[in-house]
Structure 1
Amino acid sequence: MTTGTRTAARRTAARRTACAAALLLALTAVPTSAVAVTADPVHVEGRLPSGATYAMDVPAGWNGTVLLFSHGYNPGPANPATNGPDEATKSLLLKQGYALIGSSYATTGWAVTDAVPDQLATLSAFTGRFGAASRTIAWGRSYGGLVTTAIAERHPERIDGSISLCGLVHGGVANWNNTLDPVFALKTLLAPGAAIPLVDLPDQKTAADAANTLTAAVDSAQSTPAGRARIALAAALHNIPGWNDPAQPKPAPTDWEAQQANQYTAVKGMVKFPAFSWRQEAETRAGGNMSWNTGVDYARMLGRSAVREEVTALYKKAGLSLKADLTALHRAPRIAADPSAVRWMSATSSFTGKLAKPQLSVHTTGDALVPVQTESALKRAVTAAGRTSLLRQAYVENAGHCTFSPAEQVAALHTLEDRLTAGRWVGTDPGSLNSRAAAADPTTPARYAAYRPAPYPRPYDLAHPADGR
């Protein structure tokens, strides 16, 4: 065979290969195209290369918008894929034609380094199967709000806008710092002689033992006026509100005893899970303790707290010196962070405020787990980055963490969509949001209200490089 003949043969083979590849692509594309236009809704489950699973729901008559949902903190061991905040809200959205997708994340716990790539991979898998969406909106609740904001800052090219619901939008370093503050106060004032490690927890047994010991001290203190005042002080350092569970009757504005009783329950919940068990898991990822209170002025922090009046009143009623207790906190041995752990948490879980696409951040006013003041921290970062035109924040007057109605969540979505369509924010006032909510689902509450959160007590973000260093 001559050189020319061999070249011609190679070209012929290449054309045949190209044709075969094109035919294969066409054949494999048929199901995708068929799924996208089918008159029946489609539910898909699958597994990503990371090991994370995903779930996708595409309704009949898909409207072209896909909602990428990031779920909240999951301590495990169960790790299901989640593609919406609750079944009632999902049902409303599917009826309106939205496609819903979301992953499990490859690991549980403080899994931001898995969550972001797994969510993006889920979006890619959706596009590969159903085609490119005309609009992609990232949204998430609680820890999923942190994941959503990380996607919004680091991968804005993958989305058109984002919604954070009751999110950890203050970032990881700020979260763990402010989780340390109330337990530091509880240990110092209620159990000063007890060997309760607050950081550098080597395993879950150590964390559980520490939580049990401190819980016993809190339970004992609740039986005395002085103990209740001190629990209220610890709650104030985290801005735990006096109405923080929908099951609680809402106390009168100056019913300090009822407010403290509600805080007591929330403080015990914080001790049981975030302050020890969840911290231990996060420390393992960070490679050490990522929190500190060196240089923290707790008297100043109390002065900025949303519940400082309650603390002052309860100390006075107990005949206890608030100044003396604040002095005790000031003099107590402080906790220093492991710099490498801070760097890890900062790099993976803190924010620059440099939004590139519109974000709507929504919070309940009575949240004890992720206090509404986190919204102040987000605004601080976004303002420093010069991106305030891209951010709007709204508040739902209700107790509890992520206790939004389906109507309120759908109203937030429609408000963001209007921003994406019009190129400017419209209808972000409480009246407009409540009208949207009532139109979306008149059977569930619409409780948007005018609200301005107090400053977040321990802000930390990448827009202020001197923070806490």
Structure 2
Amino acid sequence: MKHATRVAATAALLLTLTSAPAAGAADAGTAHVDGRLPSGATYTMDVPTAWNGTVLLFSHGYASGPANPAQDAPDDATKSLLLQGGYALIGSSYATTGWAVTDAVPDQMATLKAFTTRFGQASRTLAWGRSYGGLVTTAIAERHPEEIDGSLSLCGLVQGGVANWNNTLDPAFVLKTLLGSDVPLVNLPGQEAATDAANTLTATVDSAQSTAAGRARIALAAAVHNIPVWNAPGQTRPAATDWDAQQANQYEAVKGLLKIAAFNRRQEAEARAGGNTSWNTGVDYARLLGRSSVRKEVTELYRKAGLSLTADLAALNRAPRITADPAAVAWMSATSSFTGELTKPQLSVHTIGDALVPVQTESALRRAVTAAGSAPLLRQAYVDNAGHCTFSPAEQLAALHALEDRLTTGRWQDTDPASLNARATAADPTTPARYVRYHPTPYLRPYDLAHPADRR
């Protein structure tokens, strides 16, 4: 069936299937459908009457707790603009919360199948997602390329699971060792124990922040995770040599990392994997610092405190190391790490001031796809803003349109910052356009399936 005929037929069908107008929909003729998959996951779909033939399969970020709603767009403002543009929007809740990649990928593919059964075959299918949903999206791109035409990751964990948990271990290890805490970092028996450990180490960090030596050591912990010095919405952007202001911003981010990821989310992931998936055996912390994006700040704060950085790095390198459970690593590697083997175009976008999923994850993705020979299919772009996933609707639409042009023309074009900002302004002149030229430093603890030496 030709595209125009199919869209007209679908539009007529929608009038009989609509259960309710979608929230944020462009008009009351938009079909809104909620359903449940055999896995128990719920799904949601919003399809405008004047569907343009493109379906966007949205993968949401990490969810915890009892609330686990299906999502088909990153935010209401972007959703409204997409529906006005004629895009069909779909997405699932995933059957479980937490590090649920083994549920998320099949649930997303089942949602796509349910959409096709109900509304017909799309002329173009794009997978996209934010944060943890960027990991899910990249997994779909590698494992189910025949089901999609391209993918868009926004602020994604595109370094993969093993790399993520190794890199999350390092700042906690630095804090525990140099601030004298005895909290367990891995093999946490349950969420209560994880919360207790997080609270204990956070209190230790709070106390250390009151001294120059403590502030220097917190900065060192931030550096081995590449936590940027400007990392939260509304935060003042420090001057290039305002080391104290830089560290104050990182201090808040370090506490956030401890509260969010380093213990509770780790424990949930360990429970799925059947053991500890992280290690720092063989890690040279002096080498890690030497490759960090904020090493100069650390050096200056240690000098100001009259503290020996060399001695602290030696103490870290002498400290008892953490070994991983090989079976747990194998599970995390098989389910959540990447080969870098793209067969369809992918655009990956990141804010430069992301503390939770640092922008250096893009370096890890580039490393994998380059080793796999897929680099021509990948483009990366950067937004000059602080915080995790703090994109404007305009910036998200600009990325989507750039990916669409790649599919239409067969080549990447107009993906430089000026062109992306022009796309953003054209898509939504009411919200910011802040794409910039940026080259992230290396990811400090890479692990991917394209590098056999990573599997140690």
**Does the TM-score normalized on the shorter chain lie above 0.5?**
yes
CA distance in 2, matches of 1:334, 1:31: 60
CA distance in 2, matches of 1:85, 1:35: 24
1:132 CA displacement: 0.4
Name the counterpart of 1:422: 409
1:114-263 paired onto structure 2 within 5 Å: 114-191=103-180, 194-263=181-250
1:465 CA displacement: 1.2
Name the counterpart of 1:46: 35
Q: 1:286 aligns with which of 269, 273, 289?
A: 273
Q: TM (normalized to structure 2)?
A: 0.95
- The answer (yes or no) to whether the contact 1:168–1:175 under 8 Å persists in 2 is yes
Name the counterpart of 1:367: 354
1:195 CA displacement: 2.7
1:369 CA displacement: 0.2
CA distance in 2, matches of 1:264, 1:464: 34
Mean Cα deviation higher: 459-468 or 439-448: 459-468
CA displacement, residues 99-153 of structure 1 (integer Å, 9 cap, x when unaligned): 0000000000000000000000000000000000000000000000000000000
CA distance in 2, matches of 1:403, 1:272: 20
CA displacement, residues 288-317 of structure 1 (integer Å, 9 cap, x when unaligned): 000000000110000000000000000000
SS in 1 for 2:379: strand
1:110 aligns with 2:90: no
1:353 alignment partner AA: G
1:468 CA displacement: 4.3
Q: 1:67 aligns with which of 56, 69, 72?
A: 56
Name the counterpart of 1:85: 74
CA distance in 2, matches of 1:291, 1:388: 28
CA distance in 2, matches of 1:284, 1:465: 26
Going from structure 1 to structure 2, the CA distance change for 1:438 and 1:298 (only over 3 Å counts) comes to: same
- Structure 1 vs Structure 2: percent identity of aligned residues? 79
CA distance in 1, matches of 2:389, 2:260: 17
SS in 1 for 2:125: strand
- The answer (yes or no) to whether the contact 1:62–1:99 under 8 Å persists in 2 is yes
CA displacement, residues 157-197 of structure 1 (integer Å, 9 cap, x when unaligned): 00000000000000000000000000000000012xx3310
1:230 alignment partner AA: R
SS in 2 for 1:424: coil
Q: CA RMSD in A?
A: 1.3
1:306 alignment partner AA: S
CA distance in 1, matches of 2:199, 2:365: 33
- The answer (yes or no) to whether the contact 2:402–2:413 under 8 Å persists in 1 is yes
Structure 1 runs (4+) deviating above 4 angstroms are 30-33, 36-39
5+ residue gaps in structure 1? 1-29
Name the counterpart of 1:101: 90
Q: TM (normalized to structure 1)?
A: 0.92
SS in 2 for 1:273: helix
CA distance in 2, matches of 1:32, 1:454: 48
CA distance in 2, matches of 1:261, 1:114: 39
Aligned pairs, number:
438
Name the counterpart of 1:454: 441
5+ residue gaps in structure 2? 1-8, 19-27
SS in 1 for 2:223: helix
CA distance in 2, matches of 1:241, 1:207: 25
CA distance in 2, matches of 1:40, 1:248: 42
Q: 1:275 aligns with which of 252, 259, 262?
A: 262
Q: 1:76 aligns with which of 45, 52, 65?
A: 65
1:31 CA displacement: 9.1
- The answer (yes or no) to whether the contact 1:32–1:129 under 8 Å persists in 2 is no
1:466 aligns with 2:445: no
Q: 1:35 aligns with which of 6, 10, 14?
A: 14
1:371 alignment partner AA: P
The structure whose Rg is larger is: 1
SS in 2 for 1:181: helix
CA distance in 2, matches of 1:211, 1:35: 50
- The answer (yes or no) to whether the contact 2:168–2:262 under 8 Å persists in 1 is yes
- The answer (yes or no) to whether the contact 2:161–2:337 under 8 Å persists in 1 is yes
